[in-house]
Structure 1
């Protein structure tokens, strides 16, 4: 089964110059925990609720701090045509619970999460992913 059949395609993206407040408000309204960050339509990072708490709030940064200061860089991703089992194994090795999904033109087309893979019904992929993300990295 291809990852594009299980991913969430309703993805929101913020620009790296936008504030952590923008990200937090969007996370709250969409009930999500991470947002891809772009610069001129190029994926340059991911910001998570954890990033905001640990890199901004705990450090006393302003709500207007740009995402570029708190986001995780070096974004890992998968392709829409990748197999679910391969993506799950890769996510487990990386110790991540979400990955951006890009198409052949490297355009962001979705996000795949642990829950997407679990809902796909691939028991082996889910077990591998759960085991990998449960390990400290």
Structure 2
């Protein structure tokens, strides 16, 4: 049975919650990714996705060069451990409609990798179709906090 450590991406770039969403978007472009873990020191405090930037910030009229990652990031981050099975994590991803999950070391509690639907599709095909179908089902947008404060 394959575990997450068999399929995860190990060299994970992160961003600080104090950085601007413009910098986050630039990093996503440079790295060709759609999400970046947000770390305060070594502690995972959120995830910033291209969708967070587009829906929570740009659509609300927030300026990319002054809006902080911490203002629009997702804070309810699902994580997994390197020893969990691929099938177990795929099921969780499908249940909560997410495409990427940070991998946390059980001892240090530090981010040691990230696993995505793409990683699993290329390295482990069983179960990916069902999870991808669940993740791709339409969900209500999360607009919490939009418009609650104005930035100039």
Q: Give the TM-score normalised by structure 1.
A: 0.93
> Unaligned 5+ residue runs, structure 1?
none
Alignment partner for residue 95 of structure 1, among 79, 94, 97? 97
- Mark the structure with the bigger radius of gyration: 2
| Cα deviation 1:52-110 (Å, max 9, x = unaligned) | 11111111112221111110111110001100011101111111111111111211011
Q: Distance in 2 between matches of 1:134 and 1:61?
A: 27
- Which residue of structure 1 lines up, in the alignment, with residue 76 of structure 2? 74
1:113 paired to 2:116? yes
1: distance between equivalents of 2:56 and 2:80?
26
Count of equivalent residues: 136
* 1:41 match: 42
1:24 is aligned to 2:10: no
Hey, what's the Cα distance between the residues in 1 that align with 2:33 and 2:120?
17
Structure 2 stretches lacking a partner, 5+ long? 140-152
- Per residue, is there more strand in 1 or in 2? 1
Give me the CA root mean square deviation: 1.2
Note if 1:4 corresponds to 2:5. Answer: yes
